Structure 1
Amino acid sequence: MKTFSSFSLFLLSLTFLSLQASQGSTTSSSYKDTQQLLNFKASVSNPTFLSNWLPNQNTCNFTGITCKDSLVSSIDLSSTHLGTNFSLVSTFLLSLDHLETLVLKDINLTGTISFTKCNTFLTTLDLSLNSLSGSLSDISNLGSCSSLNSLNLSNNGLDSSFLKDSPRLNLEVLDLSNNKLSGPSVITWLFQSSCNGMQQLALKGNKLTGEIGPTLATCETLTHLDLSSNNFSVGVPSFGDCLALEYLDISANKFFGDISHPLSSCHKLSFLNISSNPFGGNIPVLPVQNLRFLYVADNELHGEIPSWLSTACSNLIELDLSTNNLSGTVPSGFGACSSLESLDISENKFSGELPIDIFTKMGALKKLFLSLNGFSGVLPDSLSQLVKLETLDLSANNFSGFIPSALCQGTETNLKELFLQNNLFTGSIPSSLSNCSQLVSLDLSFNNLGGTIPPSLGSLSKLRDMIIWLNKLQGEIPQELMYIQTLENLILDFNELTGTIPSGLSNCTNLNWISLSNNKLSGEIPAWIGQFSKLAILKLSNNSFSGRIPPELGDCKSLIWLDLNTNKLNGTIPPELFKQSGSIAVKYLSQKSYVYIKNDGSKECHGAGNLLEFAGINKEQLNRISTRNPCNFTRVYGGKLQPTFYHNGSIIFLDISYNMLSGSIPKEIGSTMYLYILNLGHNNISGVIPQEIGDIRSLNILDLSSNRLEGPIPQSLTALSLLTDIDLSNNYLSGMIPEMGQLETFPASRFQNNSGLCGYPLSKCGEDPSSGLNSQHQKSHRRQASLAGSVAMGLLFSLFCIVGLIIVAIETKKRRKKKDASFDGYVDSRSHSGTANVSWKLTGAREALSINLATFEKPLRKLTFADLLDATNGFHNDSLIGSGGFGDSFRCSTKGDVYSYGVVLLELLTGKRPTDSADFGDNNLVGWVKQHAKLKISDVFDPELMKEDPTLEIELLQHLKVACACLDDRPWRRPTMIQVMAMFKEIQAGCGIDSQSTIATEDGGFGAVEMVEMSIKEVPELSSKQ
């Protein structure tokens, strides 16, 4: 018994000692964790967020820290912008002994993924939204993290250069979206050993190309695959037995061909997005057994909605068939889509009356998009039965009659967005719209509505957008709008409104777009508008406003567009108007749809142009504006607003022409570094043109005409290398016109009626202006230069023709048989800009080729391929020497040389030849660059240049803008080589341009050098409709 007691005592002592040892080990590990975390805090650039990481605090109470058994098991420091390097993360965090999860999303992490010592517990690593660089193959350095199964490196700067070795990781989740991966080898490299175990793979937003091959067919465990927004230009790969795949996104590529067969076995698919590809034919048969989300938008599909889709839609939650060429109407079987919450069939060719009986059977419907179709008839009151409806978009159709007064009838109203613009509605705006208590956006523009704006709309306490321009509204703007303190956009242009701007609007401090132009408003411009710190656009033109321009407008911290032309304003231009220059940060206008209509400058047409909100309006309907405006539009630009400055901006559009302003031009105007259009014409402004205008290096259009300005034209204006139009006529200017820069390129009419002004293009200084001798002298010199150039060009052309005739004589017999055999084939017609790729089969059919030049203007005529054959007398491409690349067909001129220079400059900047890169697909170098202009344009630069010096990006972007100016589709808009040299001098002088800016082309918005401040960025996101 005594022996047993001794043994028990021994066991008890041993247990006690073991517990003490365990506690001591835990304490030691906890102390080690604390020290490593404190060392990490000391190493970061911005430790503010880690203020409670202190030596005397419990580690498990540190911000972002989660513990298990008193040891650090999880760290989440997302969006703290700490500023650190991956090597420090590796040293202090990844080496924590019991860490299982590390989330460092958006912390300003830099460096490369270097060799890492990792514990055996880490399963999840999220380093997304940072600035990591280096090669994708560097992820092999995480091989020591033996338990790692989820890795997120999305939105970094990883590239696919020098891929080597196998990744040696057994990952289940891998996200590499929005990096700089390119080429055809990435997927093969990722799966070169095996893809067993991989469940989710995201490669969205890279530049991957080439064949995907059979690799994916072997990934039996893959449930989620995102290949969207890449450069794949192949047939859809086979997914094999597709046993597990539930999510597939291949949108925004160039996949083509049959998609039904590759997906035929994917019965578990619940999400499928094939939008923004060139799939043609009818809507393909797809595996819909478990499909919940189906997006087939922006393809080349035609025909009617197939019956199999209507019978299989009972499980669908979202269906997007928008932006195709589908026709007919909505099938009656769609009434069985009992789970459907979002239906988008906008931008097709559907017609007939609204199939309301079908829609009312969709009890779950929340979003209905039918815009840009051909639906007609009146809207029935039964629309109110769609009680769950949150978004109703019927814009750009042919609906007529009255707007139903029963839209929000009943106690349950969920309608948040009502878009009825660009139809044929008549009558008045129903006051019962105030019953739509959840309404956020209301757009009734481009109709024939009359009457007044109902005061009852003031009760819509959640309304952000009141857009009712181009109607026939009368009366005053209701004071009751003062109660809508959420109001952001008040756009009432082109109506017949009278009275003053109601004082109640001073309560609406969230306004960022006020547009009341082309009405009959009067009174003074209220000084309280200066309180609107978010106001970015103020348009009050073509009214009868009087009094002075309030200096308080300079307090609008976001004002970038001010249009007050054609009013009765007097007094001086307040210098305070420009005091925000250099500090404006625009963030309220991103992705707003707009058109900018440039005026023709005729006597009846006042102002530089008109900026109009344009969401949901058919561009072919723009001619309706001309019935309310005396202007002929010289050019129409359209797209989405995207400012390219974020902290140091200035006003970009200032038009106060056609008023009664007096006094001098404030010298403070020179601080508006992003000012693009300045129109002070047709006032009584006196004094001299301030030298400081020459500091506005972004200035593109300058109109100071019809004032009382005197003195010389400042020499500083020669530094305005982006200036494309100037008008200084009808003043009292004197002295010699400066001979350098852009001023040499404008006609005499831009300087006429200034009695003391001389120099080219006017009479030579010291000569009688009426003699015209100087003009003849100048023309003589130019004629001599032109003659010498013509002789040289003639000799060169003659030599070329002789050589060409010899080659043709030798090749004619050889080519004749080939010509006859191929004449019934296809001719591929590519424009030099790469913006259009169209194939015509040489048959008798007269297929129309529109030549409206993407300006939204009516085509002058329709040119057919048969017309081309007649005009060329049957010429064939086999009769030509060489083949088309980037060349333009034109009469020999210096503008052609400028275009060629632009192409050479692109070659230097991109490191690519004009026609032979696999990245171009069916395009060429110029077209490829223009396609990338709507994305982050800096991606086109040669990576080798960036490797040598990453700080070159801004300078390269400036050179790229020069290249795009040389490549303008309109030869007369291309700069001269003198102007190109002036641009290069500007770059050398250090004129900064935002590296994130885009270069929009004429088919997408402002030209390459026409609008530096605002550009168009089209992002094909579905999220806005989901």
Structure 2
Amino acid sequence: MTLLPLPIHTMAKSPPFLSLQILTTFLTFFYLFHPSMPKTVETKALLEFKNQLQDPLNYLDSWKDSESPCHFTGVSCDLNTGQVTEISLDNKSLSGVLSPSISLLQSLTSLVLPSNLISGKIPVQLGNCTNLKVLNLTGNQMSGSLPDLSSLTNLEILDLSENYFVGGFPTWVASLNGLISLGLGQNDYEEGEIPESLGNLKNLTWIFLGGSNLRGEIPESIFELTALQTLDISGNQISGNFPKSISKLQNLIKIELFQNNLTGELPRELADLTLLQEIDISSNQMFGNLPPEVGNLKNLTVFQLYKNNFSGELPPGFGDLHHLKSFSIYRNSFSGEFIENFGRFSPLNLIDISENKFSGGFPKFLCENGNLQYLLALDNNFSGELADNYAKCKSLERLRINQNHLSGKISDGLWALPNAKLMDLSDNEFTGGISPQIGSSIGLDELILGNNKFSGELPLEIGKLTQLERLQLSNNNFSGRIPSEIGNLKQLSSLHLEANSFTGPIPIDLGQCDRLVDLNLALNSLSGNIPNTISQMSSLNSLNLSGNELKGSIPKNLQKLKVSSIDLSKNQLSGRVPLFLLTMGGDKAFLGNKGLCIDESSSSEVNSGLAICSRQHFNQRFTGNKLVMFCIILSGLVVILGCLLLVSYWNFKFGESDMENNIKWGTETDPRWKIESFHPMEFNADEICNLDEDNLIGCGGTGKVYRLDLKKDVGTVAVKQLWTGNGVKVSPTEIEILGKIRHKNVLKLYASLTKGGSSFLVFEYMANGNLFEALHREIKGGQLELDWFQRYRIALGAAKGLAYLHHDCFPPIIHRDVKSTNILLDDDYEPKIADFGVAKVAEESPEGSEASCFAGTHGYIAPELAYSLKVSEKSDVYSFGVVLLELVTGRRPIEDEYGEGKDMVYWFSTDLYDHKNALKVLDPKVVSDLVQDDMIKVLKVATLCTTKLPNLRPTMKDVVKMLVDAEPYTFRSPGSTETNGKAFL
């Protein structure tokens, strides 16, 4: 109510009314200023706000009913009224939902909750906080359609970016005329154009609409926002030529238009923006020469236009800039000699001119001011020597000048860069040796020198590079012994020394590099024996020692290794080849060793061109001693006759009992077979075990798989014959566990049969083979066999199968070899997880279980397994993430395009800096407007699953939930509520 002062004459003439007036004034004062009244309302509102949130850091502990809201952490009040005016909780790991009770804070002017994990919708009631000037909810996990908040007419800052809001683009913001800062980007709005009405916001200085599913051209009204300093419409589908009208925005400091569909040439008018500091128009379809005037933008600090089709020479003005820090123009067609003075006067920090056609001498002054950290100039036509002044570039961290025509020696100082992490000089014509000063580069992660003319011995100081993960020196002229100091490189995962002139033995100390995944010493002149210590490399996946002068036998303990590739050919080795290694490498891996042979029993398992050991030994031992031969044969006949008599007696004595035992299987089986049945089924052991090679349908690391049509109308089954050898046996405990598994997305194990060293597993037969084959099979018309809807169904089913193994089995089962070839498909393309040959029962430990051996397949192996045998469910999650990438991209886990030693995860994470570029990786043979968004959702799940740190990966239960949310719209039943599919991020 409003109290007005009464005239003096009225007050004098009306004492009763005066009393009423005084009382009313007192009550109003009491209501407005008594400390308990507003505090009660606002305290309850804030406590309800707190109750809807999870606070793992206990940041809101001070929010108590007994305290004034003004004492709450993150809360500010008006000094006069005591009412709450601001809530600021930036990056406090808060989750939960935003309570509507916030609308009771009528004096609230600022609500700042960025960089948390808050989910759910924005409550409509927030529109009642009409005094709000700042609303910042960026970087959360909020979803749903945005409510109309046009009632918040006092807003100056509105930032709802980096959430998962859906629905139409919020056109109501155009009525908020007081806005200075507007952030709506990185959400999942329906596809649409930029509203012309945004041109009404004349006070805007900052606008961020990146990643908002916007298409079409930028409306002319945007170029009337003359106060604008930052324009960011990146990561959309904006088309048309680069707008010349941008020159109207004379106050522009920053332009972000990367990852769109812009075409045409860069207009000369851009040079009119004299205040411009940053411009990024990368990943578009622009072409032509750069206008010379662009080089005169004296305030430039960031210039990026990589992944376009620009050509010609660079404007010479770039060489005179004094503020340039970042310059990235890779993957264009620029040519000619590079600007001589580039970097001479600027604090250059990053330059990437890779994958162009620059020629002539390499620029000398890129590190003139000592700030350069990243120098990337690979795949050009530079020639001549590298200037000595780079030896003084102590700030340099990444140096990639590979794939050029550079020559000459590398100065000692360049080998000794103290902050270098990556040095790639490969595919040039460099000469000379590696300086002993390389021992000063103690932070080096990768040293790549392959395909040059380097020579001399490796310095012993290379053993000081204890952080080194990759050492690639192949195809050079290095000589001398491999220094034993390499054994100090405990982080090393890849060692390539092939095609050099190394001599002497393989150092025993190399076995200390127990994180090595890839070891190649081929095509040298190494001698001596293969050291037993190689078996200590528990992570080794690929071993190549071919083309040397190695002697002696193959160490038996190499069978401990679970390599997927091995090559010991063209040496001077002798003795038996272990069957397991022969199975993994094939006979080509051992050819060219005249002294090697295989057991006669092994020759039936593997088609080999190697000699038979038993035949050679028989000829050598007995040709000269007929008497001994006769005695042995006679003794053998006596023993055989005795055994036959004993067996006959045994059968006569116990035959009736055996028959009774066989009846329970529904058939008469050989009592020597130990049979365990897990599902009702009639079969004959001889029928199972007499397999026809014509019915072979698969061969893997644990055995061969055959298709078998059983008699008695049982139907078709798949029979796996396990390789012989301790390394591939499935323990009785594991058989028992697998037999108890009951899930429609896990392959059904009918029975197991064992006798002596032979083991057979009988599984249900899957008519459509495995997922890898189905992904790459074509049906009529060149169309792929699997469309997106089938792929999604397979992804969800396989995820449910793995979730069952991880969460519903006790103890949990870790598969350890999840890959597309181990996901089988039945007649209806229902997926089933298969091949538990290396599966492990998880231990009750938060750190995971210690595996006895390395398992997995290159391209699917979680990065932590390169340095640890600690396996956990999260290793399976990583591998499943790779499968999801296969489903979304249609690519294989390993392709030449990814680069040597690289896989699909590396390619995806480095080639795509964020999800804005995701459209480019979707399988073009199945993507369409109908399923494009759904494929993106699954791609994001794959990204989470393949996170480098295991603890940041979701559980398989979470993966199932995320995939359910990513269900294609076509799959949803009529009337169901559409989910955004990204609330999990």
Task: Please indicate the TM-score interval, normalised by the length of the shorter structure.
Answer: 0.5 to 0.7
Matching residue of 1:236: 242
Q: Distance in 1 between matches of 2:131 and 2:375?
A: 48
Residue 889 of structure 2 aligns with an amino acid whose one-letter code is A
Query: In 2 relative to 1, CA 92–206 (structure 1 residues): closer, same or farther, beyond 3 Å?
Result: closer
The answer to whether the 8 Å contact 1:697/1:720 transfers is: no
Q: Distance in 2 between matches of 1:488 and 1:118?
A: 60
The 5 A counterparts of 1:356-755 are: 356=364, 358-359=365-366, 361=368, 364-407=371-414, 414-437=419-442, 439-460=444-465, 465-471=470-476, 473=478, 478=483, 480=485, 487=491, 489-492=493-496, 494=498, 515-516=519-520, 518=522, 522-525=530-533, 538-542=541-545, 546-548=555-557, 563=565, 604=588, 678-679=700-701, 685-686=723-724, 714-716=762-764, 718=766, 721-722=769-770
Matching residue of 1:219: 225
Q: Distance in 2 between matches of 1:372 and 1:183?
A: 38
Residue 328 of structure 2 aligns with an amino acid whose one-letter code is D
Query: In 2 relative to 1, CA 430–264 (structure 1 residues): closer, same or farther, beyond 3 Å?
Result: closer
The counterpart of 1:1000, out of the listed 889, 903, 907, is 889
Q: Distance in 2 between matches of 1:471 and 1:342?
A: 30
> 1:153 and 2:163 equivalent?
no
The 5 A counterparts of 1:813-962 are: 895-897=779-781, 899=783, 905=787, 954=796
Matching residue of 2:279: 272
> 1:986 and 2:970 equivalent?
no
The answer to whether the 8 Å contact 2:122/2:147 transfers is: no
The counterpart of 1:305, out of the listed 311, 314, 323, is 314
Task: Output one character per residue of 1:379-420: Cα deviation in whole Å (capped at 9) or x when no partner.
Answer: 3434324454443321111223433223267xx955444221
Residue 282 of structure 2 aligns with an amino acid whose one-letter code is S
Q: Distance in 2 between matches of 1:569 and 1:101?
A: 75
Q: Distance in 2 between matches of 1:67 and 1:538?
A: 63
Name the count of aligned residue pairs. Answer: 660
> 1:130 and 2:133 equivalent?
no
The answer to whether the 8 Å contact 2:352/2:376 transfers is: yes
The answer to whether the 8 Å contact 1:697/1:721 transfers is: no
Matching residue of 2:867: none
The answer to whether the 8 Å contact 1:525/1:549 transfers is: no
The counterpart of 1:344, out of the listed 348, 352, 358, is 352
Query: In 2 relative to 1, CA 27–164 (structure 1 residues): closer, same or farther, beyond 3 Å?
Result: same
Query: In 2 relative to 1, CA 997–234 (structure 1 residues): closer, same or farther, beyond 3 Å?
Result: same
The answer to whether the 8 Å contact 1:105/1:126 transfers is: no
Q: Give 1:276 shift.
A: 1.7
Q: Distance in 2 between matches of 1:66 and 1:425?
A: 65
> 1:1017 and 2:901 equivalent?
no
The answer to whether the 8 Å contact 2:457/2:478 transfers is: yes
Matching residue of 2:97: 85
The answer to whether the 8 Å contact 1:525/1:546 transfers is: no
The 5 A counterparts of 1:102-121 are: 102-112=112-122, 114-119=124-129
Task: Output one character per residue of 1:988-1010: Cα deviation in whole Å (capped at 9) or x when no partner.
Answer: 99x99669646234599669xxx
Query: In 2 relative to 1, CA 366–895 (structure 1 residues): closer, same or farther, beyond 3 Å?
Result: closer
Matching residue of 1:861: none
Q: Give 1:224 shift.
A: 0.7
The counterpart of 1:315, out of the listed 323, 331, 356, is 323
Q: Distance in 2 between matches of 1:1013 and 1:368?
A: 25
The answer to whether the 8 Å contact 1:198/1:219 transfers is: yes
Residue 97 of structure 2 aligns with an amino acid whose one-letter code is N
The answer to whether the 8 Å contact 2:768/2:829 transfers is: no
Residue 1000 of structure 1 aligns with an amino acid whose one-letter code is T
Query: In 2 relative to 1, CA 206–223 (structure 1 residues): closer, same or farther, beyond 3 Å?
Result: same
Matching residue of 2:868: none
Matching residue of 2:196: 188
Residue 362 of structure 2 aligns with an amino acid whose one-letter code is L
Find the residue that maps to 1:432 and give its secondary structure: helix
Residue 211 of structure 2 aligns with an amino acid whose one-letter code is G
Q: TM-score normalised to the size of structure 1?
A: 0.54
Q: Provide the aligned C-alpha RMSD in A.
A: 5.5
Task: Output one character per residue of 1:779-803: Cα deviation in whole Å (capped at 9) or x when no partner.
Answer: xxxxxxxxxxxxxxxxxxxxxxxxx
Q: Distance in 1 between matches of 2:510 and 2:521?
A: 19
Query: In 2 relative to 1, CA 102–720 (structure 1 residues): closer, same or farther, beyond 3 Å?
Result: same
Q: Distance in 2 between matches of 1:368 and 1:119?
A: 51
Find the residue that maps to 1:209 and give its secondary structure: strand
Identity of aligned residues (%): 21
Q: Distance in 1 between matches of 2:307 and 2:133?
A: 39
Q: TM-score normalised to the size of structure 2?
A: 0.56
Residue 588 of structure 2 aligns with an amino acid whose one-letter code is E
The answer to whether the 8 Å contact 1:124/1:148 transfers is: yes
Find the residue that maps to 1:331 and give its secondary structure: coil
Q: Distance in 2 between matches of 1:91 and 1:429?
A: 68
Q: Distance in 1 between matches of 2:903 and 2:414?
A: 44
Query: In 2 relative to 1, CA 72–467 (structure 1 residues): closer, same or farther, beyond 3 Å?
Result: farther
Residue 447 of structure 1 aligns with an amino acid whose one-letter code is N
Query: In 2 relative to 1, CA 163–984 (structure 1 residues): closer, same or farther, beyond 3 Å?
Result: farther
The answer to whether the 8 Å contact 1:178/1:203 transfers is: yes
The answer to whether the 8 Å contact 2:253/2:278 transfers is: yes
Query: In 2 relative to 1, CA 115–468 (structure 1 residues): closer, same or farther, beyond 3 Å?
Result: farther
Q: Distance in 1 between matches of 2:558 and 2:74?
A: 52
The counterpart of 2:50, out of the listed 41, 45, 57, is 41
The answer to whether the 8 Å contact 1:469/1:491 transfers is: no
Find the residue that maps to 1:140 and give its secondary structure: coil
Residue 271 of structure 1 aligns with an amino acid whose one-letter code is E
Find the residue that maps to 1:442 and give its secondary structure: strand
The 5 A counterparts of 1:43-62 are: 43-44=52-53, 49-50=58-59, 52-53=61-62, 55=64
> 1:173 and 2:181 equivalent?
yes
Find the residue that maps to 1:1017 and give its secondary structure: helix
Question: Is 396-405 or 678-687 further displaced after alignment?
Answer: 678-687
Find the residue that maps to 2:462 and give its secondary structure: helix
Query: In 2 relative to 1, CA 1006–76 (structure 1 residues): closer, same or farther, beyond 3 Å?
Result: farther
> 1:209 and 2:209 equivalent?
no
Q: Give 1:288 shift.
A: 1.0
Q: Distance in 2 between matches of 1:901 and 1:330?
A: 49
Q: Distance in 1 between matches of 2:759 and 2:93?
A: 54
Task: Output one character per residue of 1:816-851: Cα deviation in whole Å (capped at 9) or x when no partner.
Answer: xxxxxxxxxxxxxxxxxxxxxxxxxxxxxxxxxxxx
Task: Output one character per residue of 1:21-69: Cα deviation in whole Å (capped at 9) or x when no partner.
Answer: 7996566555655443433333335656457346367867766556775
Query: In 2 relative to 1, CA 490–272 (structure 1 residues): closer, same or farther, beyond 3 Å?
Result: same
Q: Distance in 1 between matches of 2:336 and 2:904?
A: 43
Find the residue that maps to 1:315 and give its secondary structure: coil
Q: Give 1:504 shift.
A: 8.5
Find the residue that maps to 2:555 and give its secondary structure: strand
Q: Distance in 1 between matches of 2:123 and 2:436?
A: 62
Residue 337 of structure 1 aligns with an amino acid whose one-letter code is F
Structure with larger Rg:
2
Q: Give 1:272 shift.
A: 0.8
Question: Is 328-337 or 244-253 further displaced after alignment?
Answer: 328-337
